[in-house]
C-alpha cells in the first residue's frame, strides 16, 4: 500500500470554525490511477493537499510508504516529499527565467543525490518521453499551455517518485490538450508503475481512471 489515510478531519477557522473534511479513510495501492472528483467546495482539493503532505494541520493519520507523516519534523517532511512525491498543478509553475531543461532539473538539484551530469541526462530522457526533448533549450514562457504541462510532468518525475499528485492538471487546457495530458499520466502509471492521484472536475478523467472517489460536503460518497 502506497498511501493510507485514517479518519482524517480538517477544519478551517476563518471567518469561523468550519469542518471541511469529515472522517476520511482511504487506501491507494501501487500502480493505481485514482481520481478525486466533486463540485467546487466538496473538499477534493483540501483532501489532495493533505494526501500530498502539503497540509499537515489535520486530525487523523496519514501514512505514505508506511511512514506516518505526523511523526516527521518539518525538515524531514520536506526531504520525504521531494524524494517520494511529484507534483503537477493546474498552473504549471515553471520558472520563466529558466529554460525547459533547467526547470525539469530543479527538484533533483535540490535533492542533491546525483551529479549535475546525471540529472541532466535524466531530464533529457524525461523530456523525450513527454515529447518535449526538442524544446529543452527554449525559455519556458515561450511554450503553449499543453507543452508547459508536459514539461511539468517531466519535472514531477525527475526524482523518480512513487506517488504523483495532480491538482486539476487539465483545468486550463482545451479538450485536445486535456486528453493528451491525461493519456500521458495514464501511460506513466502503467509503464512506470507509478501511483497517480488526480483532483479533477473533468468527467473524462474520472470515468477513465482505475478508480474514482466522489467527494460531497467533505465526505467520501460511499
pTM of the model: 0.92
Helix 100-111 and helix 74-84, axial crossing angle in degrees, nearest 10: 130
- d(C-alpha 48, C-alpha 70), whole Å: 16
The C-alpha cell 511539468 sits at 152
| pLDDT interval class at 52 (50, 70, 90) | very high
Evaluate whether 189 touches 157 at the Cβ level (below 8 Å).
Answer: no
107, 111, 112, 113 alpha-carbon torsion, rounded to 10°: -110
Whole-number average pLDDT of the chain: 92
Task: Output the CA torsion sign for 100, 31, 10, 208.
Answer: positive
Q: What does DSSP assign to residue 94?
A: -
Here the cell at position 173 is 487546457
Q: Report pLDDT for 173.
A: 84
Residue 169: exposed, middle, or buried by beta-carbon count in 10 A (0-12, 13-18, 19+)?
buried
- d(C-alpha 201, C-alpha 44), whole Å: 10
Q: Report pLDDT for 92.
A: 73
Q: Report pLDDT for 40.
A: 86
Domains (ranges, CATH) in the chain? 34-49+74-220 (3.40.50.300)
Amino acid at each position: 500500500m502506497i498511501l493510507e489515510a485514517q479518519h482524517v478531519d480538517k477544519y478551517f477557522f476563518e471567518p469561523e470554525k468550519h469542518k471541511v473534511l469529515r472522517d476520511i479513510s482511504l487506501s491507494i495501492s501501487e500502480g493505481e490511477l485514482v481520481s478525486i472528483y466533486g463540485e467546487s467546495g466538496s473538499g477534493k482539493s483540501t483532501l489532495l493537499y493533505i494526501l500530498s503532505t502539503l497540509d499537515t494541520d489535520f486530525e487523523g493519520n496519514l501514512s505514505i510508504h508506511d511512514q506516518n507523516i505526523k511523526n516527521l519534523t518539518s525538515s524531514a517532511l520536506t526531504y520525504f516529499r521531494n524524494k517520494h512525491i511529484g507534483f503537477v498543478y493546474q498552473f504549471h509553475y515553471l520558472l520563466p527565467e529558466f529554460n525547459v531543461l533547467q526547470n525539469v532539473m530543479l527538484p533533483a538539484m535540490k535533492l542533491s543525490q546525483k551529479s549535475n551530469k546525471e540529472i541532466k541526462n535524466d531530464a533529457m530522457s524525461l523530456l523525450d518521453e513527454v515529447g518535449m526533448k526538442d524544446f529543452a533549450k527554449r525559455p519556458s514562457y515561450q511554450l503553449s499551455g499543453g507543452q508547459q504541462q508536459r514539461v511539468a510532468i517531466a519535472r514531477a518525475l525527475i526524482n523518480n517518485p512513487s506517488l504523483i499528485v495532480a491538482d486539476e492538471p487539465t483545468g486550463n487546457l482545451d479538450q485536445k490538450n486535456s486528453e493528451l495530458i491525461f493519456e500521458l499520466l495514464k501511460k506513466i502509471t502503467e509503464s512506470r508503475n507509478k501511483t497517480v492521484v488526480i483532483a479533477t472536475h473533468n468527467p473524462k478523467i474520472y470515468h477513465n481512471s482505475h478508480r474514482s472517489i466522489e467527494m460531497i460536503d467533505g465526505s467520501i460518497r460511499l
